Amino acid sequence: MIATPPVASSVPDPALGSGFVLKHHAAASCSVGAGLRSQLYRRYPRVTLCAPSPAPLASALRCAWFVQGTSAGKLSPPTSQTSLPELGTLPLDWIGGGGQPSRELSAAEDERECSPLPVEPAHWCYEIQAKEPNSHCQGPADWSGDCKKTHQSPINIDTTEAKVNPDLKPFTFIGYDQKKKWVVKNDGHSVKMMLADGSFIAGGDLPTQYQAVQLHLHWSQEFDRGSEHSIDGKHFAMEVHIVHEKGTSSSKGQDSKDKNAVLAFMVEVGDEMNQGFQPLVEALSHISKPDTNTTMKESCLQDMLPKKEKLVHYFRYLGSLTTPNCDETVVWTVFKEPIKLHKDQILKFSTELYYDEGKKLPMKDNVRPLQQLGNRQVFRSHAPGQLLSLPLTTLLVPTLTCLVTSFLQ
Ligand SMILES: [Zn+2]
């Protein structure tokens, strides 16, 4: 069963981080378990597993593990790309069980690790990454899952076509005034503040209360193309997304069209430093590389957003997540009033953050191209110039500053 082996080396090869290709060998015959596979994708986000069809690809994965575990294997080294390392130089810990003595897989291991599974697609990425030389990731045009469906996001919002819906009343923000030390991470696609703990929205014609889960951004170095949505054809410097989930944890698994509520805020250049954003901006230098995180200085969500009385103007439509698998489960709210950041604050995102471990590709243009509106209708909260018809309470509520929630710490 053991063919002429490439010998597994214990020396990790940093070159692997920039992407490599596994070529299958026709003699192999099964797949690696999901855990090992996701570990592979996490560790090498730009890897492409190259094979003519799903079954041989699964074989390649299994064989890579086999090579690692046994110091012998059935896999031929990559042949099409001479600059790529041979499989024999795979670091021993990259697919589990590093340093094991040479042996055949036991029947139980074979059952556990090599059960036939659907093959995951190549890792997704943005256009700017896909067009890098030697890149093997899938750019937006090749995204799979629901990304090819017809109710996708982002879209251009044509304000003259947006229909006034009187039910689109102001939101209630619950816990947005809590001052907290948020954990923020570079997830290889964006920068993400993890929010799950006591922040909710209600109102705004949502069927129920939604819990804030995370806040992330999209941006460019060019101030007119960093937003995902556009309004009357105009893109902004950045776009902030606060992702919420419906109801309680028990209903989270359900895939309804309104499972998520995402609040989208455009960001444009302002004259002053935005102090509400400073804790996030200052954290960026600690999370330059993908899969790293840090804790921000104390801050609250409310201080990052425009004043409450401005948040009564918004657009509403049903769409999707803007990253794979592009689930069509999102009630979108795109606010008219932009957040203003100083240009130095905006540029920090492109200069401090990187897509890759080797810090060669700055994280920017993490923006999905516009999608067709199709047969969908965009609604707006109310017609312009009707400010005085708002409930008095909306106008009179003062802008609260952050509350220190020391009892929660
Ligand atoms: Zn987003």
Distance CA 19, CA 122 (A): 11
Q: Measured in angstroms, how far is the CA atom of residue 214 from the centroid of ligand 1?
A: 10
Which strand (E) or helix (H) includes residue 127?
Answer: helix 127-130
| Pair 99, 163 in one domain | no
Q: Is residue 127 part of a domain?
A: no
DSSP label at residue 387:
G
| Pair 215, 174 in one domain | yes
Q: Measured in angstroms, how far is the CA atom of residue 51 from the centroid of ligand 1?
A: 32
Residue 321's pLDDT is what? 97
Q: Is residue 121 part of a domain?
A: no
Q: Measured in angstroms, how far is the CA atom of residue 386 from the centroid of ligand 1?
A: 30
Residue range of the domain that includes 101:
14-113
Q: Measured in angstroms, how far is the CA atom of residue 82 from the centroid of ligand 1?
A: 37
Q: Is residue 7 part of a domain?
A: no
Residue 247's pLDDT is what? 76
Rg over alpha carbons for the chain, rounded to the nearest Å, is 24
Residue 384's pLDDT is what? 53
Q: Measured in angstroms, how far is the CA atom of residue 153 from the centroid of ligand 1?
A: 10
Residue 249's pLDDT is what? 52
Q: Catalytic one among 123, 136, 189, 244?
A: 189
pLDDT digits (tens, 9 = 90+) for 46-56: 333 322 233 33
Q: What is the pTM of this model?
A: 0.69
| Pair 234, 369 in one domain | yes
Query: Considering 90, 113, 136, which residue would you say is the last residue of a domain?
Result: 113
Q: Which residues of the chain have pLDDT under 70?
A: 1-122, 248-255, 383-409
Angle at 369 between CA 121 and CA 190, to 5 degrees: 65
Q: Is residue 189 annotated as part of the catalytic site, yes or no?
A: yes
| Pair 234, 325 in one domain | yes
Q: Is residue 59 part of a domain?
A: yes
Reference 70, options 88, 46, 49; nearest CA is 88
Q: Measured in angstroms, how far is the CA atom of residue 240 from the centroid of ligand 1?
A: 7
Q: Is residue 123 part of a domain?
A: no
Placement of tokens 């896999």 in the chain? 75
| Pair 332, 231 in one domain | yes
Q: Is residue 119 part of a domain?
A: no
Residue 96's pLDDT is what? 34
Q: Is residue 368 part of a domain?
A: yes
Query: Considering 95, 113, 131, which residue would you say is the last residue of a domain?
Result: 113
Q: Is residue 395 part of a domain?
A: yes
| Pair 281, 399 in one domain | yes
Residue 108's pLDDT is what? 54
Query: Considering 113, 138, 169, which residue would you say is the last residue of a domain?
Result: 113
| Pair 94, 150 in one domain | no
Residue 402's pLDDT is what? 67
If one counts the domains in the chain, the total is 2
Residue 404's pLDDT is what? 52
Tokens of 124: 């997704």
| Pair 196, 279 in one domain | yes
| Pair 159, 302 in one domain | yes
| Pair 276, 382 in one domain | yes
Residue 381's pLDDT is what? 97
CATH number of the structural domain spanning residue 358? 3.10.200.10
| Pair 101, 230 in one domain | no
| Pair 92, 199 in one domain | no
160, 163, 166, 168: CA torsion to nearest 10: -90
